Amino acid sequence: MASVWGELKRRNVVKVAVAYAIVGWILVEVSSTVLPIFEAPDWIVQVFTFFVILGFPLALILSWAYEITPEGIKADADVPRDSITPATGQRLNYVIVGLLVLAVGVMFVDNYVLEEESPEVSRSDDRRSIAVLPFENLSPDPENAFFADGIHGELLTHLSKIGSLKVISRTSVMEYRDSPKNMREIGRELGTATILEGDVSRAGNTVRINVQLIDAETDEHLWAEIYDRELTAENIFAIRSEMAISIAEALQTVLTPREMAQLNELPTQNTRAYDFFLSGNEYFRRGDSPTFISLSVLMYERAVEEDPQFALALASLSRAHSRMFWYGIDRTDYRRSTAEATVQRALELAPNLPEAHLAMGYYHYWGFRAYELALEEFAIAEQGMPGAAEIFEARAYIQRRLGQWEQSIASMDRAIELDPRNSFLANEQAHTYEWLRDYNQAEKLYVRALEIAPDDAAAYNYRAAIPLHRDGDITPVKAALENPPTDLGDDGRWIAWLAALYERDYDMGLEIVGDFESDVYQGLTYFRPKALMYGATYSLAGQPELAEPAFEAARVQVEQALDVNPDDPRLYVALGVALAGLEEPDAALRAARRAIDLLPTSSDALFGPSYQLDASWVLIAAGDHNAAIKELDAYLAAPGRWSIEGLLPDPRLDPIRNDPRFKAVAEKYRRR
């Protein structure tokens, strides 16, 4: 045995084995890291690893039989015993040391560099994490796609009621409809250990649902079932409950009595009511446009007409009414009182329904900015839906309005964990960091949003504007707006208009205003008629004769809007700008004060400072420089999107630029 071992060492077989093992490991590690970037299927890495392993005994055989000499490779029998074998061994020592250093480098890059830069979410090690992919619609009628999506959405909601499960939210999984990606890739991107996929077929009075639960890492099928039933509301809910319970059992989750009771609840026995409810959900998810919100209200109302005892539909209807009020579609007392009456009825029918408490929370939040009451309702809703990302999202919004910035970040982080492919959440978290003037972190999150949705115009605009907000630098802003990947809309035109003002290119500013698609550019914190922007641009350009009629037209528009919504702070800011331009300083000052009083920073730490900044422009134009400087000081002292460096180039500051009091404020907040 000793002679065999000695011969192995003499022929450098041992060293070749060590060197081959290191090289093989490096090749497998690099291939498993690089090939997925090019979306190579898993079997390519597996085949490559097989051949690397297969080559190991071949390398040993060759190293036993042959010797490397200065004259080339020769059979060992043809090389004298006192040949250059020791020298070859010494060279192999150097090779092994070099390979070890290279291996350490590969490990460092893989575990630290690539891990930090990867846009993927790290896969959960807990088997009790699941992503439910969109169900395929196999119905002959393509209009039944909403039914398959509705079943999918309802199953997700049901699973989110199981506290020990991590369930990825609907927004994040919808992008994987018809995706060519394999289960391992999807699991890694979503951070889940298991994936459920399925299909739905609805024909006449029957429905068939076929589902299978898969281990995302190994592709092993953990559970599968086919549900073939008569199409009744009772059967649909029974299937939903059976699926949720079976999935929980497959993931070795023990359900509490409360969870079991929730999963077995029967919301309605009316199939038509359930169809209208699913349609309402579909429109509600599509966004905040007046059309979709109004359609969601209509569908929920039809559901309630079909079944007045349908508490879940009543809760959803209330939330849709509250949304109409919050987003300014209908700010009447009727809309708000209807939201209250509807959710109260839902709670009378189902006092423990978490969706009803969620709707009540939104009624307090969107209807009255009653933040503490809303948080109490969200806490109750969380007890029934502990895995619902929307609850943590809503809580994050309220916490930052209360000035609880760190708590808001933590809540939104949890929402993003449950909904990792939702670019909207990434944008909102970026807003929070931007308000804290942590522009670097904000930009990273905007980039993340664009990785998820490259055509996200909002994320692109927000990221493009960061140099303006942070430094007042228009060069990168103009470059970003020059060749955008998608239509940036009026938000992009607003940024371009500001850049033109900063450059004092007022002709360009007027051209940009003319390109605005909407006659009134508005959002949650601003109401800007094109006439108002024309007036401001002409005024800065020193053309008062053209500014005056534009300001007058803007005043008429704003006053008409005030007749409908007399307590809207956005409208008083716009009115103040118009009145200041019309040289009515006293009326302009009253309007500016009214805007601040309607939503002070003490009532809303997110939007309040925006009105302070906007009011300061009115105060400057109206000639109350002392008050303007005080408002600017207060704005810069609180979290807000703009830094002093970002504000300084603004030509609207020219009247106070040389005022010692303003210079002191600028120096006070200058970045050190």
Name residues whose C-beta falls within 8 Å of residue 510's C-beta, 6 or more positions apart in sequence.
534, 537, 538, 541
- Contact present, 103 and 95 (Cβ < 8 Å): no
- Ranges of H-type helices in 599-671: 608-622, 625-637, 644-647, 660-669
In a domain, 504, yes or no: no
Contact 317, 324 (CB under 8 A): no
**Sign of the dihedral defined by the CA atoms of residues 123, 392, 359, 430, in that order:** negative
Q: Does 304 share its domain with 256?
A: no
Report CA Rg, the chain. Answer: 32
| Dist CA 240 CA 368 (whole Å) | 36
Residue 542 belongs to a domain: yes
For residues 554 and 623, membership in a common domain is answered with yes
Nearest to 130 by CA among 187, 200, 204, 46: 187
Give pLDDT tens digits for 356-391.
Answer: 999 999 999 999 999 999 999 999 999 999 999 999
162 & 66 share domain: no
Domain carrying residue 55: 2-117
Q: Do 139 and 68 belong to one domain? A: no
pLDDT of residue 119: 44
Within this chain, do residues 68 and 145 fall inside the same structural domain, yes or no? Answer: no
- Encode pLDDT of 123-171 as tens digits: 444 678 999 999 998 887 776 787 888 889 889 998 999 999 999 999 9
Whether residue 466 lies inside any domain: the answer is no
Alpha-carbon distance values, 177 to 149, 153, 199, 247 (Å): 11, 14, 11, 21
Enter the tokens of residue 493.
């035109």
Question: Which CATH number characterizes residue 590's domain?
Answer: 1.25.40
668 pLDDT tier (thresholds 50, 70, 90): very high
Per DSSP, 110 falls in state: I
Is 502 a member of any domain? no
Do 237 and 346 belong to one domain? no
**CATH number for 259:** 3.40.50.10610
Residue with tokens 């449950």: 418
Give the span between the Cα atoms of 235 and 221, in whole angstroms: 26
Range from 35-49, 434-448, 624-638 carrying the lowest mean pLDDT = 35-49
Whole-angstrom Cα distance, residue 315 to residue 304? 10
Range in 216-230, 584-598, 604-618, 624-638 with the lowest mean pLDDT: 216-230
Do residue 421 and residue 535 come from a single domain? no
In a domain, residue 488? The reply is: no
Q: Quick one: 310 and 435 in the same domain? A: yes
296 within domain boundaries = yes
What contacts 347, CB < 8 A, 6 or more positions away? 311, 353, 356, 357, 360
Are residues 165 and 203 part of one domain?
yes
Contact 150, 134 (CB under 8 A): no
406 and 522 part of one domain:
no
Do the bridges between strand 221-230 and strand 66-69 make them parallel or antiparallel, or are there none, so unpaired? unpaired
Q: What does the DSSP 8-state code read for residue 113?
A: I
Distances (CA, A) of 581 to 140, 552, 555, 574, 658: 63, 9, 10, 11, 22
Band (4; pLDDT cuts 50, 70, 90): low
Indicate the pLDDT class of residue 521, thresholds 50, 70 and 90: very high
Report residue 446 CA to chain centroid gap. 9
Please indicate, yes or no, if residue 485 is contained in any of the structural domains.
Answer: no
Closest CA to 458 of 483, 429, 412, 492: 492
What pLDDT score was predicted for residue 398? 98
Helix (H) or strand (E) holding 526: strand 526-529
Name the pLDDT band for 115 (thresholds 50, 70, 90): very low
- The model's confidence at residue 491, banded by pLDDT at 50, 70 and 90, is very high
CB 131 within 8 A of CB 186: yes
In this prediction, residues 430-445 reach a mean pLDDT of 98
> Which of the 8 DSSP states describes residue 518?
S
Decide which of 263, 279, 294 is a domain's last residue. Answer: 263
pLDDT tens readout for residues 29-68: 776 666 655 545 555 667 667 777 777 787 667 665 666 5
More confident residue, 602 or 120: 602
Report whether pLDDT(211) > 60. yes
209 lies in the same domain as 319:
no
Mean pLDDT of the chain: 88
Q: Poorest-confidence range of 87-101, 312-326, 334-348, 546-560?
A: 87-101
Out of 222, 246, 263, a domain closes at 263
Is it the case that residue 95 has pLDDT exceeding 70?
Answer: no
Strands 166-167, 129-132: pairing is parallel
Give CA angle at 473 (470, 478), nearest 5°.
Answer: 120
Residue 74, strand partner residues: 67
Residue at which a domain ends, from 117, 140, 162? 117
* pLDDT score of 450 more than 80: yes
Domain annotation covers residue 222:
yes
Structure tokens of 351? 């006092």
**DSSP one-letter code for 35:** G
* Domain containing residue 427: CATH number: 1.25.40.10
Query: What's CA 658's distance to the chain center, in Å?
Result: 43
299 in Cβ contact with 276 (< 8 Å): yes
State how many domains the chain has. Answer: 4
Q: Indicate if 657 and 524 belong to the same structural domain.
A: yes
**In 472-607, alpha helices (H):** 475-482, 489-502, 506-515, 530-540, 544-564, 569-581, 585-598
